[in-house]
């Protein structure tokens, strides 16, 4: 007799299993429509390989594994792919994801399968490929691709292969019924896995509250080396790490996977699916799901096609929707509530619990933590849940991490026993999410810093190179050219010529300033005086007009030089003009006579900076032109054109500045434009 | 006389010895760079947006190390101010609205059919996150974009939009229970928000 | 929306904080009964009086803090504080002593630190220590003489009038020093045999006190059975006290003997009802052992070498100080780790 160990903590919630465990697994039938999310597993979503309108057969692959950690998806019944679109999927967030929709035709025609009478004729690698092709992902709830799991790193020899039949969550009986009715499939599936891994021993762990399943498995495993171990009923004995502790006495070291200590844990339903995939070539297209809870008239277990809409499934079984009820996917300890019933059954849906208000009353308002320590008494990971709670609540994430927050398996035992009804698990999930976000942000900002620094370096280097070139050229070049350059340089006012980077930053600052004011304005407008809004609108008007005139210039230029561009610009000009008109309209609505009272100060500043920018650019272009004349004759023409354009821009800016210097003139010009 | 001499000699000897020790320590325990600047820099969001008035995050980090206010970084927002306050052991102050306000994460998107291929945005991008060549359509590498919006202004045809980064099913994570609607009944008006220090 | 979106787990255990507090109050009844039986009505009146003040001051603070009254009063934590103080104070302590102790406990020691769950010190003991230091005479001379030793014990109304000071009764005739006090002072110039001749010691350990302590022990064991707290704190506290008394007090002619330590004074009340207050105690099992042992050792030291005859309050408060530090160094080893992370350092 094998020694059975104990793990720390654990609870004994009310089991509520008899409601659904009394009847045999029944087929759920074919719904009129199947919704197949591309991601039903951990890893990358699958990649569709069918088109909308394609007719697909039962068992045909419709999306293939994409990336190293991924599994394929198959059509659960024959029909036509009617859409590939975003649909609500079962997820705690209640959000939607990409799905393939199949309108079934009811014929349930199989595609051609490749069964295999004797798995020993295949190599382990061939079996693994078949498992991958069959789309099998862990069916206990996490949905980790089975093929990857059966592929431990080479140096990890699996000594103990464990099948998890504990099913410790209340209400769920899917594995229980499966073990009772299909014990042979489970045992054969385990043998296939054992063929791949060649472990020293194979163990099936079952809680002692399932005597029929134990008897059935004992019967099925009579002729084999497989050991059926009965473990005491205690939640969460079905947790992977806990089950390993119970059956082997070993703990999975922090940061490692079970294979590192020579143990592998698979779910019984996964074993059955592996058997069907190898023996009959059937991909994973249906699973046993427990339908239970007071809001379902016919409780029991059903063989449900993956993708079956839950709405349809519940209707078939007499759904008694009532106020305050909740629909849980998974068990009452670790399952998540569904916002709506229009989501499909997926590969990990082991239970649908439609609980009445009475059955699962809404949580009480949380009281203060009195540090009673009951949570740490029941914690199977031996954490200090109340400390984690304080840290998570106080957003002291570093301390939470130091208290091993990430070793929390979110089993919910702490929340279950908490006398103050504190939603502890949600605090941990929140803290975990935040910490992951912080880490991701940190990574991104490091990347940004690297790229920024690299860019700075590159710009510096380019500048130096240019400088060196120019020096060399200046020495070699004719005096005439030098004189010409000087003449050009004299044209431009001194301050601008310096540093275009500084100018860019200056511009950025001004822009943010303007933006901020523009943004503030509408907020203020609600409660504040009209004048503020007017002011901001006028600022907007100025910038819009500025942009409009810029665009117009660009457009005119383009008309001459670059017809294809002109078209695009034309539309931009129109929209820009519309913008100007719109703002003007707004101003008039708010108090027309004030229109012209544009605050002179900032606009002059702006114009000055515009002028500086333009002249700076002109200088830059002239430099480039010189360079081009020397080195790239083909570019000269283009550059000359650009210089010409910029000259106009400079003169325009100068003119605008002159206008602005004289407020009266400016008023006139604004009016005439309007 | 000899007393004075011995005193002077003693002092000289002491000065030599301590000087040597100090000199040795200065070499032996030399601190590379200015670690406080790097520490500050590592807390800044690295958008390189210049909203703080400095040409990039590192210069602002240097300015903070030299005593500038810590509340000039809108992309980092309150979280960054809090982190800086913790690092520098000063009181956190509210974000200086003069430098902009905290927005959600954003990413620049070029409306590609309107792009004329002028390369202006490429030059403006502080992290080289825009791809393209002259007269070729440009595009933003979304993973590299810091959302600094420095590329929006230079665009002559206004074809760059700043779009809030959407939350997807893969980026989603749980809220704090204190923000849950069904928990609202327990939050009393006078209860302080978690994480805010007590009065 | 018809369907609720609620985080897991969806099932919850039957335990509620209010029930825990209520059961604590109920399990003090055997001890209270013994107190009343042997020492008259004083403690009963005190318990009721303290409970009333506790609830009133809790309500007052809740009103000031703009919290819902029903929700917070419904957790019974104020009631527990009041009842414990009523049990701990001398039976004939004047009404204002109780008033000061309880209001200080609720308003200062509890609510100024943030209310239930946030107080670093046991409120009842803070209140007790305050009045013990501030009014030493009232706190040492108002211990009732066992009823059996009085020819004409006070009735309920007499006791009431003594406590509230509206009668002409003089209290001196009905009070005497506690056994711990008597033994401590008389053993210095006498032998154990002579000392225990004092009627206050009765036939067994200490007249009446042994039954009071047994009453609290019974209540405490019931709480233990119900799983309201774990065995660690009370057992380690009593064991530490007993070991100290055996090691240093084996000679009954020199110091107070072990049995008197365990069954006189507030020992059992302290071990099962005060040291087990989870808010202010250490958290992990190992931490609770250290915490309890600390209380036991300090109790012995203060009782024997200090100037106060009893020392539960001071010991508990001193160990409250130490609780966060104990927690820091007694983190349990998490699943999958070779060693526990302790003292805020990373384990390798």
Residue matched to tokens 């010895």:
B17
Interchain CB distance below 8 Å, C9 and A325: no
Interchain CB distance below 8 Å, A550 and B56: no
Q: What is the pLDDT of residue A565?
A: 65
A contact chains, 3+ CB pairs < 8 A: B, C
Residues of B in contact with C65 (CB under 8 A): 190
The pLDDT tens digits for C233-275 are 999 999 999 999 999 887 877 888 888 888 888 899 999 999 9
Assess contact for C54 and C79: CB atoms under 8 A: yes
The pLDDT tens digits for A136-178 are 988 877 788 888 888 877 667 888 999 999 999 999 999 999 9
DSSP state of A611: H
Chains A, C: CB contacts within 8 A come to 172
Give the residue on A whose Cα is nearest the Cα of B114. A568
Residues of B in contact with C68 (CB under 8 A): 188
A565 touches chain B (CB under 8 A): yes
Interchain CB distance below 8 Å, C65 and B177: no
Residues of A in contact with B169 (CB under 8 A): 39, 89, 91, 93, 95-97
Q: What is the pLDDT of residue B197?
A: 34
Assess contact for A285 and A305: CB atoms under 8 A: yes
| Minimal Cβ distance to C9: which of A334, A367, A403 | A334
Which of A384, A396, A408, A424 best probes binding to C when mutated, by most C CB atoms within 10 angstroms? Answer: A384
The pLDDT tens digits for A639-652 are 666 667 667 767 77
Interchain CB distance below 8 Å, B157 and A551: yes
pLDDT-based confidence at B179, cuts 50/70/90? low
B182 touches chain C (CB under 8 A): yes
pLDDT-based confidence at C200, cuts 50/70/90? confident
Interchain CB distance below 8 Å, B182 and C4: yes
The helix or strand, by DSSP H or E, that contains position A337, with its residue range, turns out to be: strand A336-337
Q: What is the pLDDT of residue A520?
A: 53
Interchain CB distance below 8 Å, A372 and C346: no
Q: Of chain A residues 25-64, which have a CB less than 8 A from chain B?
A: 39
First to last CA, chain A: 96
Residue B28 has pLDDT above 70, yes or no: yes
Interchain CB distance below 8 Å, C344 and A327: no
Residue A634 CB contacts under 8 Å (≥ 6 apart), including other chains: none
Q: Of chain B residues 160-179, which have a CB less than 8 A from chain C?
A: 174, 177
First to last CA, chain C: 50
Interchain CB distance below 8 Å, A395 and B146: no
The pLDDT tens digits for B62-95 are 888 888 888 888 888 888 888 888 888 888 888 8
Assess contact for A505 and B50: CB atoms under 8 A: yes
Which of B158, B169, B188 best probes binding to A when mutated, by most A CB atoms within 10 angstroms? Answer: B169
ipTM: 0.85
How many Å apart are CA B72 and CA C160, to the nearest integer? 68
Residue A471 CB contacts under 8 Å (≥ 6 apart), including other chains: none
Which of A370, A381, A383 best probes binding to C when mutated, by most C CB atoms within 10 angstroms? Answer: A370
pTM: 0.76
Give the residue on C whose Cα is nearest the Cα of A332. C10
Q: Of chain A residues 495-554, which have a CB less than 8 A from chain B?
A: 501-502, 504-505, 507-509, 511-513, 515-516, 519-520, 547, 550-551, 554
Rounded to 5°, the CA angle A594-A600-A606 comes to: 125
Which residue ranges in chain A fall short of pLDDT 70?
A: 1, 154-155, 323-324, 480, 482-483, 485, 488-489, 491-508, 511-535, 557-568, 589-606, 610, 613-614, 617-618, 620-621, 624-625, 627-643, 645-646, 649, 659-674
Q: What is the pLDDT of residue A525?
A: 43
Interchain CB distance below 8 Å, A451 and B169: no
| Minimal Cβ distance to B188: which of C4, C7, C66 | C66
Rounded to 5°, the CA angle B150-B151-B152 comes to: 95
Residue B52 has pLDDT above 80, yes or no: yes
Residues of C in contact with B177 (CB under 8 A): 7
Residues of A in contact with C16 (CB under 8 A): 364, 419, 421
Average pLDDT over residues B92-112: 81
Q: What is the pLDDT of residue A302?
A: 93
Q: What is the pLDDT of residue A564?
A: 62
How many Å apart are CA C167 and CA B163, to the nearest integer? 82
Interchain CB distance below 8 Å, A332 and C9: yes
Count of alpha carbons within 13 angstroms of residue C166, beta-carbon side: 4
User: Which two tokens mark A89?
Assistant: 């999927």
| Minimal Cβ distance to B174: which of A430, A550, A568 | A430
CA distance C67 to chain B (A): 7
C137 touches chain B (CB under 8 A): no
Q: What is the pLDDT of residue A380?
A: 93
Q: Where are the alpha helices (DSSP H) in A384-478?
A: 385-393, 397-402, 413-417, 424-476
B104 touches chain C (CB under 8 A): no
Which of A95, A321, A341, A367 best probes binding to C when mutated, by most C CB atoms within 10 angstroms? Answer: A367
| Minimal Cβ distance to C17: which of A328, A383, A419 | A419
Chains A, B: CB contacts within 8 A come to 141
Which of B87, B134, B176, B188 best probes binding to A when mutated, by most A CB atoms within 10 angstroms? Answer: B176
Interchain CB distance below 8 Å, C336 and A254: yes
User: Which two tokens mark A12?
Assistant: 């004994």
- Listed residue (A127, A248, A136) closest to A197, CA to CA: A127
The pLDDT tens digits for B118-162 are 888 888 888 888 888 888 888 888 888 888 888 888 888 888 888
Interchain CB distance below 8 Å, B56 and A441: no
Residues of B in contact with A501 (CB under 8 A): 55
Give the residue on A whose Cα is nearest the Cα of C229. A372
Which of C66, C70, C112, C119 best probes binding to B when mutated, by most B CB atoms within 10 angstroms? Answer: C66
Q: Please report, for residues A502, A504, A550, A611, A650, the alpha-carbon distance to residue A615 in angstroms, rounded to integers and kept in the order given.
A: 14, 13, 15, 6, 6
Q: Please report, for residues A84, A271, C292, the alpha-carbon distance to residue A134 in angstroms, rounded to integers and kept in the order given.
A: 21, 13, 60
Residue C313 has pLDDT above 80, yes or no: yes
CA distance B27 to chain A (A): 29
Interchain CB distance below 8 Å, B182 and C67: no
| Minimal Cβ distance to B188: which of C6, C7, C67 | C67
Average pLDDT over residues B102-117: 83
How many Å apart are CA C135 and CA C112, to the nearest integer? 23
| Minimal Cβ distance to B116: which of A363, A430, A568 | A568
Residues of C in contact with B188 (CB under 8 A): 66-68
CA distance A79 to chain B (A): 28
Length of chain A: 674
C6 touches chain B (CB under 8 A): yes
DSSP symbols for B15-77: HHHHHHHHHHHHHHTPPPS-HHHHHHHHHS------TTSSSSHHHHHHHHHTT--S---TTTH
| Minimal Cβ distance to C66: which of B174, B189, B198 | B189
Assess contact for A313 and A291: CB atoms under 8 A: yes
Strand order in the sheet with A96-104: A33-37, A96-104, A79-88, A55-56
């Amino acid at each position: 007799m094998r020694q059975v160990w104990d793990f720390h903590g654990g609870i004994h919630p009310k089991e509520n299993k008899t409601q659904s465990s009394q009847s045999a697994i029944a087929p759920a039938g074919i719904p009129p429509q199947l919704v197949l999310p591309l991601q039903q597993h951990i890893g990358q979503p699958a990649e569709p390989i069918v088109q909308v309108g394609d007719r697909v057969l039962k068992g045909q692959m419709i999306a293939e594994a994409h990336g190293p950690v991924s599994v394929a998806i198959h059509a659960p019944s024959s029909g036509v792919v009617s859409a590939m679109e975003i649909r609500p999927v079962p997820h705690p967030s209640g959000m939607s994801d990409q799905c393939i929709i199949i309108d079934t035709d009811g014929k349930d025609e199989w595609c051609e399968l490749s069964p295999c009478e004797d798995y020993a004729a295949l190599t382990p690698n061939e079996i693994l490929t078949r498992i991958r092709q069959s789309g099998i992902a862990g069916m206990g709830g996490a949905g980790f691709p089975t093929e990857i799991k059966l592929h431990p790193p080479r140096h990890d020899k699996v000594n103990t292969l464990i099948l998890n039949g504990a099913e410790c969550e209340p209400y769920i009986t899917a594995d229980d019924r499966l073990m009772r009715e299909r014990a042979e499939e489970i045992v054969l599936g385990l043998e296939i896995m054992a063929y791949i891994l060649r472990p020293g021993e194979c163990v099936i762990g079952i809680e002692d509250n399932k005597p029929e399943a134990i008897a059935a498995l004992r019967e099925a495993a009579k002729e084999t080396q497989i050991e059926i171990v009965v473990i005491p009923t205690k939640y969460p004995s079905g947790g992977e790490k806990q089950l390993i502790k119970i059956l082997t006495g070993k703990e999975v070291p922090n940061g490692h996977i079970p294979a590192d200590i020579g143990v592998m844990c698979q779910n019984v339903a996964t074993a059955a699916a592996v058997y069907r995939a190898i023996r009959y070539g059937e991909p994973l297209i249906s699973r046993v799901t427990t339908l239970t809870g007071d809001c379902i008239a016919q409780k029991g277990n059903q063989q449900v096609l993956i993708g079956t809409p839950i709405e349809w499934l519940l209707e078939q079984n007499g759904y008694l929707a009532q106020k305050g009820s909740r629909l849980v996917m998974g068990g009452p300890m670790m399952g998540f509530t569904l916002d709506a019933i229009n989501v499909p059954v997926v590969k990990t849906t082991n239970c649908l619990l439609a609980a009445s208000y009475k059955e699962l009353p809404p949580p009480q308002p949380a009281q203060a933590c009195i540090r009673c320590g009951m949570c740490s008494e029941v914690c199977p990971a031996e954490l200090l849940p109340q400390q984690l709670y304080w840290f998570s609540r106080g957003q002291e994430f570093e301390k939470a991490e130091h208290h091993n927050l990430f070793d929390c398996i979110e089993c919910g035992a702490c929340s279950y026993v908490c006398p103050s009804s504190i939603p502890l698990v949600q605090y941990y999930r929140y803290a975990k999410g935040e910490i992951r976000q912080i880490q991701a942000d940190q990574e991104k900002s490091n990347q940004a810093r690297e790229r920024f620094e690299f860019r700075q370096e590159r710009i510096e280097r380019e500048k130096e190179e240019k400088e060196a070139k120019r020096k060399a050229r200046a020495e070699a070049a004719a005096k005439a050219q030098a004189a010409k350059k000087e003449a050009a340089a004299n044209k431009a006012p001194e301050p601008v010529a310096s540093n275009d980077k500084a100018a860019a930053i200056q511009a950025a600052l001004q822009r943010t300033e303007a933006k901020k004011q523009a943004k503030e304005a509408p907020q203020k407008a609600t409660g504040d005086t009209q004048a503020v809004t007017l002011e901001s609108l006028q600022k907007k008007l100025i910038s819009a007009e500025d942009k409009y005139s810029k665009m117009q210039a660009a457009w005119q230029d383009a008309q001459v030089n670059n017809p294809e561009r002109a078209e695009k610009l034309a539309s931009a000009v129109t929209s820009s003009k519309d913008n100007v008109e719109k703002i003007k309209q707004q101003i008039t609505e708010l108090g027309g006579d004030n229109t012209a009272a544009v605050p002179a100060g900032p606009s002059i500043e702006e114009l000055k900076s515009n002028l500086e920018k333009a002249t700076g650019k002109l200088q830059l272009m002239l430099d480039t032109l010189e360079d081009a004349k020397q080195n790239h004759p083909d570019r000269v023409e283009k550059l000359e054109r650009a210089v010409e354009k910029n000259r106009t821009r400079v003169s325009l800016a100068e003119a605008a500045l002159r206008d602005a210097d004289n407020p009266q003139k400016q008023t006139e010009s604004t009016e005439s434009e309007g | 006389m000899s007393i004075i001499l011995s005193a002077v000699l003693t002092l000289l000897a002491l000065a030599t010895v301590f000087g040597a020790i100090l000199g040795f320590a200065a070499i032996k325990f030399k601190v590379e760079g200015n670690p406080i600047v790097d520490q500050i820099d590592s807390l800044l969001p690295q958008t390189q947006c210049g909203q703080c008035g400095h040409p990039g995050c590192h210069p602002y980090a240097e300015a903070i190390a030299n005593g500038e206010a810590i509340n000039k970084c809108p992309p980092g927002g309150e979280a960054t101010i809090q982190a800086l306050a913790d690092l520098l052991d000063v009181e956190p102050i509210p974000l200086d609205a003069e430098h902009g306000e905290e927005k959600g994460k954003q990413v620049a998107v070029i409306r590609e059919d309107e792009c004329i291929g002028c390369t202006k945005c490429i030059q403006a991008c502080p992290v080289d996150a825009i791809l393209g060549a002259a007269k070729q359509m440009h595009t933003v590498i979304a993973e590299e974009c810091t959302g600094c919006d420095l590329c929006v202004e230079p665009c002559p045809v206004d074809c760059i939009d700043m779009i809030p980064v959407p939350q997807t099913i893969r980026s989603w994570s749980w809220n704090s229970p204190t923000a849950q609607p069904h928990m609202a009944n327990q939050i009393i008006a006078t209860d302080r928000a978690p994480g805010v220090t007590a009065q | 929306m018809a369907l609720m979106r609620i985080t897991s787990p969806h099932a919850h255990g039957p335990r509620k904080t209010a029930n825990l507090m209520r059961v604590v109050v109920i399990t003090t009844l055997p001890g209270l009964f013994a107190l009343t039986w042997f020492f008259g009505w004083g403690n009963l009146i005190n318990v009721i009086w303290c409970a009333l003040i506790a609830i009133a001051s809790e309500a007052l603070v809740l009103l000031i803090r703009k919290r819902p009254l029903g929700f917070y009063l419904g957790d019974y934590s104020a009631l527990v504080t009041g009842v414990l103080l009523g049990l701990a104070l001398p039976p004939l302590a004047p009404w204002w002593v109780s008033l000061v102790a309880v209001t200080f406990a609720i308003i200062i020691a509890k609510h100024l630190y943030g209310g239930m769950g946030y107080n670093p010190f046991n409120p009842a003991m803070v209140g007790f220590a305050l009045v013990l230091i501030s009014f030493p005479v009232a706190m040492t001379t108002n211990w009732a003489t066992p009823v059996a030793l009085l020819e004409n014990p006070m009735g309920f109304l007499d006791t009431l009038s003594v406590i509230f000071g509206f009668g002409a009764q003089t209290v001196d005739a009905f009070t005497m020093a506690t056994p711990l006090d008597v033994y401590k002072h008389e053993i210095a110039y006498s032998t154990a045999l002579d000392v225990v001749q004092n009627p206050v010691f009765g036939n067994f350990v200490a007249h009446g006190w042994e039954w009071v302590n047994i009453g609290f022990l019974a209540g405490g064991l019931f709480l233990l059975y119900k799983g309201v707290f774990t065995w660690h704190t009370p057992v380690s506290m009593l064991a530490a006290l007993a070991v100290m008394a055996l090691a240093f007090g084996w000679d009954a002619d020199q110091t107070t003997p072990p049995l008197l330590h365990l069954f006189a004074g507030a020992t059992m009340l302290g071990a099962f009802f005060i040291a087990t207050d989870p808010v202010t105690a250490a958290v992990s099992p190992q931490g609770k052992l250290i915490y309890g042992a600390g209380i036991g050792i300090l109790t012995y030291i203060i009782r024997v070498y200090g100037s106060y005859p009893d020392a539960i309050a001071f010991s508990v408060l001193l160990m409250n100080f130490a609780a966060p530090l104990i927690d820091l160094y007694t983190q349990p080893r998490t699943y999958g780790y070779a060693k526990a992370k302790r003292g805020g350092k990373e384990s390798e």
